[in-house]
Amino acid sequence: MARVDVLKVATAGPNDLGSLKVLARAGYTAADILAVVSKTEGNGCVNDFSRTLADATWADVVSADAITVFSGGTEGVLSPHVNLIVRAEHHPAAGRPGAAVAATGSTRPIAAHELGRAPQMDLVRATTEALVARLGLRPDEVHLALVKCPLLTSADVAACRASGNEPVTTDTIASMGRSRAAAALGVALALGECTESEAGAALAMEGADVYSSVASASSGAELANCKIMVLGSSPRVHGTLRAAHQVMRDAIDAEAVTSLLAQVRAEGGVVVQAFAKAGPDPRGQIRGWRHTMLTDSDISATRHARAAVGGLLAGLLGDPAVYVSGGAEYQGPPGGGSLTVMYRIHE
């Protein structure tokens, strides 16, 4: 019945498995891990080996059907940590209906020429649909669709061209955004958040005004396929861990955060973790004021965005160990991003 628990643990480095002790103390084993969702302390861009190191570290620890999502970049106050999403079906089921449930899956490998294009989008859509169906959720009961997706390195670009295909972009850092875009649109399609023609226009980066409110996609060089976790609240499952979401309209949308926190408080809940997307507003402005994320050639725009949204979210939650992921193409409105919280109610 897919009920999950979440354990949030600080890491001393990308290769720190100390969270397994916390897992054991909580009565779980590594086999119970459904997903490892972690912030690692690299640059979060193309050459972020903190992700690859974490991936290598966890590869043999989790079961074959579990997924690992390492999101690089702990700019500003953000603190490297791991969120262990564990299967809690067999744990005591206190609480009301509406408990947090989750399921994970993966697509087949994405070929370099498919990245950022319809095949990637369609593969993510199909897997997401299957996961939602497996959980028996209505689209509005889904609060997070977390996707880890590939990118293009120089070697990928060269190999793609050698095979007679042209990649969607030859700019390695731009490929990260294209991959996230395709993944987010796949989620939006799976959840009925946009039409196929809208998704197609958006995929071509023609600025279609569509997005998923619950997608959170992160690119990396450490994998070749897309790994997906769907997290929702099931009216058929009892539990004390719950989830809710909101959309930040821009990177300084404190109101979205405080209204979500008010909702949690209204239920008597205490936030365990927040998952937010952050990206530079492509129009170069926030509320009419110019930002410089897109003209700073020293620091990637996603690093700027993570630092700022991380500062806001950490401040409002009083907790720097939040999951803020950079690059929010179609994962919220331009300049904004999806925002999910997991919270525990006591009754």
Residue 66 near a copy of itself by CB under 8 A:
no
Task: Give the CA angle between residues 143, 146, 149 to the nearest 5°.
Answer: 160
Euclidean distance between CA atoms 68 and 51, whole angstroms: 10
In the chain, the amino acid numbered 172 is: T
Number of residues that bind a copy of itself (CB under 8 A): 76
Report the candidate in 235, 224, 242 with the shortest Cα–Cα distance to residue 341: 242
Candidates 114-122, 227-235, 263-271, 278-286; binding stretch for a copy of itself (CB under 8 A): 278-286
Residue 109 near a copy of itself by CB under 8 A:
no
> Which two structure tokens, joined as six digits, stand for 164?
């007679």
**Dihedral in degrees, nearest 10, Cα atoms 62, 230, 188, 134:** 110
Residue 14 near a copy of itself by CB under 8 A:
yes
- Please report how the helices 196-203 and 172-190 are oriented relative to each other, as an axis angle in degrees rounded to 10: 170
The nearer residue to a copy of itself, 243 or 314, going by C-beta atoms, is 314
Residue 100 near a copy of itself by CB under 8 A:
no
* Lookup result for tokens 């070749």: 224
Euclidean distance between CA atoms 235 and 291, whole angstroms: 43
Neighbour count for residue 47 (Cβ, 10 Å): 12
Q: Minimum CB separation from a copy of itself for residue 51, in Å? A: 9
Out of 71, 179, 218, 233, the active site residue is 218
213-242: contacts with a copy of itself (CB under 8 A): 221
Q: Minimum CB separation from a copy of itself for residue 6, in Å? A: 17
Sequence-separated (6 or more) residues with CB below 8 Å from residue 287 = 250, 252
Residue 22 near a copy of itself by CB under 8 A:
no
The nearer residue to a copy of itself, 79 or 225, going by C-beta atoms, is 79
Euclidean distance between CA atoms 110 and 65, whole angstroms: 18
- For the question of residue 219 being annotated catalytic, the response is no
Return the DSSP state at 42.
S
Q: Minimum CB separation from a copy of itself for residue 50, in Å? A: 4
Query: How many angstroms separate the most distant Cα atoms in the chain?
Result: 61
Candidates 182-190, 239-247, 248-256, 336-344; binding stretch for a copy of itself (CB under 8 A): 248-256
Candidates 23-31, 84-92, 96-104, 294-302; binding stretch for a copy of itself (CB under 8 A): 294-302
Residue 92 near a copy of itself by CB under 8 A:
no
The nearer residue to a copy of itself, 217 or 305, going by C-beta atoms, is 305
The nearer residue to a copy of itself, 269 or 310, going by C-beta atoms, is 310
Residue 204 near a copy of itself by CB under 8 A:
no
The nearer residue to a copy of itself, 79 or 126, going by C-beta atoms, is 79
In the chain, at which residue ranges do the beta strands (DSSP E only) sit? Answer: 4-10, 33-40, 67-72, 81-87, 96-106, 142-150, 215-220, 227-239, 241-248, 269-278, 285-286, 289-290, 323-326, 337-345
Select the residue interacting with a copy of itself from 310, 333, 334, 337 (CB under 8 A).
310
Select the residue interacting with a copy of itself from 121, 149, 308, 345 (CB under 8 A).
308
Residue 170 near a copy of itself by CB under 8 A:
yes
Residue 102 near a copy of itself by CB under 8 A:
no
The nearer residue to a copy of itself, 118 or 316, going by C-beta atoms, is 316
Q: Just list the catalytic residues.
A: 148, 218
